[in-house]
Structure 1
Amino acid sequence: MSGEAVSGSEPRAVSWSPGAVWPGLQMAAGLVLVVLGLQRQEPLALLLTGLAALFLIPSGVSQLLRRPRIEVVDGQLAIKKLGRVLFVPRSEVVEVRALGSARWGVRQHMMRLEYTDERGREQLDVFTRLDLGTDPRDVVETLTRLGFGDRRGDT
């Protein structure tokens, strides 16, 4: 998380984004697989390594392009989607909540973000540690402290 302090006590900009190391490793692994597939000169090896690279490289590029993933700027929540940045005013954030799920004996924490978009439709986004670069519970705590998601009683 990063923040810039302004003359007041509330930060003007706070952002969360995944690190650049993991997407970089994904892209490098994809390139290594392509080189290995080309060196083997077997159609099956080329097909399998090419399919793996076809998943790894675009995934890494996508993660790098969507940085920062979530940002609070001047009282609005900026959510970076693949093709655009969606700005959500504080009053349109319905709920920010931490979720937890257990799979194979490992507990994973996520952040649930429910908001109303510019067309008036309710949206639900779920972010993991890989999306935010930090524990989602800390992000929920910070967003709640900044006044996002206080509309639970409003209907």
Structure 2
Amino acid sequence: MDNSPLTWAPRAGLVAVGWLLAVAAGASAIFIAGSSDRPGAVLLGVATIALAAAALHGTLVRPRLAASTSGLRVRTVGGTRTLAWGEVQLRLVTSRRLGRDVTVLEVESDDLVVLGWLELGTDPRDVHEALVALRAG
């Protein structure tokens, strides 16, 4: 990869909100645990774990996707993969979910990585356009 790759990652503000909500849910669970509402405390505990896991993922995988003239670098919780342009296929896939169109960027090599708006921090169509231009140029 060269010294100036284009990068995409979950929005920092969104990750920060996830951490704040996890702390708030955890504090509420601890506060409620002392009362008679045990099911509510358990539900808040589960919400705390889910929010913390999502925020941790958003923190650890920054940047989620980086691209340069030599190829792509995809970051996951399991590690970082560097892929040359010749071993990568890029596709935009649009499907209807819950009454609205959702577009994702598929990066296929030996395995398939599906990146949506949350993972990229921007519209996958814009990322695809930038990647195609970088690959061609």
TM-score by length of 1: 0.78
Which has the larger helix fraction? 2
How much is the aligned-residue C-alpha RMSD, in angstroms? Answer: 1.8
Structure 1 CA distance for aligned equivalents of residues 49 and 5 of structure 2: 35
- 1:63 corresponds to which of 41, 54, 58: 58
Which has the larger strand fraction? 1
Q: Secondary structure at the match of 1:24?
A: helix
Matches within 5 A, 1:107-146: 107-115=101-109, 122-146=110-134
- 1:48 corresponds to which of 25, 43, 51: 43
1:8-66: CA deviations, max 9, x gaps? xxx94111111111121112112111111222223222211101101111210111110
Structure 1 CA distance for aligned equivalents of residues 64 and 58 of structure 2: 9
Shift >4 Å, 4+ stretches: none
Q: Secondary structure at the match of 2:106?
A: strand
Q: Is the 8 A contact 1:34 1:46 kept in 2?
A: no
- 2:10 corresponds to which of 15, 18, 21: 18
Q: With CA pairs under 8 Å and 6+ residues apart, which has the higher RCO, 1 or 2?
A: 2
Number of matched residues? 132
Q: Percent identity?
A: 26
Structure 1 CA distance for aligned equivalents of residues 79 and 45 of structure 2: 29
Q: Secondary structure at the match of 2:26?
A: helix
- Segments of 5+ residues of structure 1 without an aligned counterpart are 1-5, 116-121, 149-155
TM-score by length of 2: 0.88
- Segments of 5+ residues of structure 2 without an aligned counterpart are none
